[in-house]
Amino acid sequence: MKRRPPRGRRAMNLLVSIWAAGSALVGIAILFWIIFVVVTRGLGALNLSFFTQLPTPPGVLGGGLINAIIGTLVLTLAATLVAVPLGLLAGVYLAEFSEESKAGDFSRFSANVLMGMPSIIVGVFAYTLLVIPLGKFSGYAGALALAILMLPVIARTTEDMLRLVPNTLRESALALGAPRWKVTLAIVFRAAKAGLITGVLLAVARVSGETAPLLFTALNSPYWFHSLGEPTPNLTVTIFNYAMSPYPDWQQKAWGASLLITTGILVITLLARYTLREKKP
């Protein structure tokens, strides 16, 4: 067999390495450019009034976005309370009880499709399901849309993390006489705790910057909200409205709200990485 000269392979390897490194540098540079622009333009809008006052009427300087900040937190919390239990239960079913099951395969396929579905379609679904029958926009519809977006992320992450737990751990607990539900909750969940927490945090980060679903469901409001049964202020729709306005003060506040969301997502991502890190003995 004739040996191929190594010169061609080395040249191709060098070319691919340079191409990969260059692509990575371009992507990282664009990422840092975006962060730099958001920080430089949004930092000037962050002051005490931004976090303590309501929005001002169009054309009036001052005010803040305290109602949108609280509304975003409440919507995210409500969506999390709905999506986390359902997502964990779905992940447990897929990992523990759906071996060679057509229902399990269909559920897994549906979760994969839902993970790639555009968020605006989920917003239209929630609009059709709640907004049209009730005749008004509401925070409940917004929380439902966000929960639907979170559900497949949590379900698939839960399944993947539970499948990483060795079967010998399950068999040992079952051999000692523990019921299956207690083995899952007390043994398997504890072994996969870091991954499950990470999945929840990533799902929260996934919906933190969503605008399209809330445009169709929660909409927005410049006032305080008293319940989720009415239009609920939120940062993402506020950014959309303020950025499209002709008022420089509103545009700067849009940059400030963008910086606030970016910082929140960064903190959640770092927290997920910190939780998932391998602890040294």
How far CA 99 is from CA of 95, 106, 159, 225, 259, in Å, comes to 8, 12, 12, 47, 45
Contacts (Cβ under 8 Å, ≥6 apart) of 152: 87, 110, 111, 112, 114, 115
If we measure between CA atoms, which residue out of 190, 227, 232 comes closest to residue 215?
232
How do residues 184-201 score in pLDDT, each as one tens digit? 888 999 889 888 988 898
Convert the pLDDT of each residue in 98-153 to its tens digit.
Answer: 877 888 888 889 999 988 889 999 999 999 999 999 999 999 999 999 999 999 99
Using the predicted structure, report yes or no on whether residue 93 has a pLDDT greater than 80: yes
Which of 256, 209, 264 minimizes the C-alpha distance to 50?
Answer: 256
> Model-level pTM?
0.88
Q: What are the extents of the domains in the chain?
A: 48-276
192 in helix, strand or coil? coil
Span 41-77, pLDDT tens digits: 999 899 999 999 999 998 889 899 999 999 999 999 9
- Supply angle C-alpha 222, 38, 120, rounded to 5: 55
Q: What is the CATH number of domain 48-276?
A: 1.10.3720.10
Crossing angle of helices 139-163 and 66-92, in 10° steps, is 40
Instruction: Read off the tokens for 97.
Output: 């009880």
Whole-angstrom distance, CA of residue 44 vs CA of residue 24: 31
